[in-house]
Amino acid sequence: MSSPALREAEPSAGTARETAPGPGRRRRIAMVPTVTLLLGALYCLLPVAWVVIASTKSGAELFSTFTFWPGTGFADNVSDLNAYRDGVYWRWMGNSALYAVLGALLSTCVSAFSGYALAVYRFRGRETLFNVLLAGVLMPPVILAIPQYLLLAKADLTDSYLSVLLPQILSPYGVYLARIYAAAAVPADVVEAGRMDGAGEWRIFSRVALPMMVPGLVTVFLFQFVAIWNNFLLPYIMLSDDEKFPITLGLHTLLEQGANTPALYTLVITGAFLAVFPLVALFLVVQRFWSLDLLSGAVKS
């Protein structure tokens, strides 16, 4: 991209701004950073903009009209998608929502329990346990997923909702975030005061500590939600019945069939657009609740 050139131009622009605030610079916008960021935003929005426009095109328009010129077939595309195999597309969306909401909820609970225990208590084996849980991050998913599949096959659980849900409940990253957040947000004296009042450990956790941990747990939930919604590999390995597919796997199979029949292209494109839409909307709504600071472990205590 054009960034190296822009970066070289920066010092001169900077000094000009400090020393000579001429009439042209009255509004004092830092041009180099602004333009660089706009180019970055353009790059990131380009495929999204394309899919929005491409989903409005009919099959013929897709190959004949200019790419960024909207077409006239959006309603037809959506009804084609609805009709495709009796609306299996919406079933995939429903499955994705089920996996992501339920999985993220359970994952947040497990992370909250573990994070709280690891942050608030001193006990034998604490650091060992934490490190062992964290090491799970390093395991390539396919390396886990294949033996998971073989083991679940022995329990006769493959090709079921549980086979996709269960392996994704424990998230090492979620435990890590919950621990950092609990350590910063739950003061030791508050826990101690609860004990003085004669409250049991569970009561202290559920009534006192949990409300304090909510902002951190929202972040854990959203991360896990996105991770499960975006997961492709695990359902790809576990499932064969396409009634149970999440949307990622569904679109993949649709593309595989569509590769030989360009008539299905519009279906894939419309499907991709509608699949991106809910998550982007969710992002725009919740981004203010999302403490991204947690990402780098930067919690002010």
Touching other proteins, residues 21-60 (CB under 8 A): 28-30, 32-34, 36-38, 40-41, 43-48, 50-51, 54
Q: Which of 60, 214, 263, 280 binds other proteins (CB under 8 A)?
A: 280
DSSP state of 160: S
Among 78, 210, 212, 282, binds other proteins (CB under 8 A): 282
Closest to 297 (Cα-Cα) out of 137, 179, 196: 179
DSSP category for residue 243 = T
Which residues, 202 to 241, sit near other proteins by CB under 8 A? Answer: 202, 205, 226, 229-230, 232-233, 236-237
| C-beta closer to other proteins: residue 49 or 83 | 49
In the bound state with other proteins, the residue whose beta carbon lies nearer, of 70 and 141, is 141
H/E run at residue 245: none
Closest CA to 112 of 185, 57, 167, 196: 185
Q: Which stretch binds other proteins (CB under 8 A): 77-85, 87-95, 213-221, 286-294?
A: 286-294
CB of 283 to other proteins, least distance (A): 5
To other proteins, the closest distance from the beta carbon of 133 in angstroms equals: 6
Continuous segment of H or E residues that includes residue 281: helix 265-286
Residues between 175 and 204 with contacts to other proteins, criterion CB under 8 A: 175, 183, 188-189, 191-192, 195, 200-202
Closest separation between CB of residue 291 and other proteins, Å?
9
User: Which of residues 102, 170, 208, 210 is near other proteins by CB under 8 A?
Assistant: 170
Q: How many residues does the chain have?
A: 301
CB–CB of 100/235 below 8 Å?
A: no
Q: Measure the CA–CA gap between 218 and 290, rounded to whole angstroms.
A: 7
Residue nearer to other proteins on the CB measure, 74 or 116: 116
Near other proteins in 74-103, by CB under 8 A? none
User: What Cα–Cα distance (Å) separates residue 53 from each residue in 77, 112, 133, 146, 233?
Assistant: 12, 42, 44, 39, 29
Q: Which stretches of the chain are assigned E, i.e. beta strand?
A: none
- Residue 66: phi and psi, rounded to 5, are -60, 145
Asked if 120 contacts 195 with a C-beta cutoff of 8 angstroms, the reply is no
Name which of residues 100 to 159 contact other proteins (CB under 8 A).
109-111, 113-114, 116-118, 120-123, 126, 129, 132-133, 136-144, 146-148, 150-151
In the bound state with other proteins, the residue whose beta carbon lies nearer, of 80 and 145, is 145
Provide the 10 A C-beta neighbour count for residue 114.
21
Q: Considering beta carbons, is residue 22 or 122 the nearer one to other proteins?
A: 122
The rounded distance, in Å, linking the Cα atoms of 11 and 246 is: 50
Q: In the complex, what is the shortest distance from the CB of residue 152 to other proteins, in angstroms, rounded to a whole number? A: 9
- Residue 18 CB, nearest distance to other proteins (Å)? 8
Q: How many CB atoms lie within 10 A of CB 266?
A: 26
Size of the site for other proteins (CB under 8 A): 111
Candidate segments 75-83, 87-95, 213-221, 266-274, binder of other proteins by CB under 8 A: 266-274
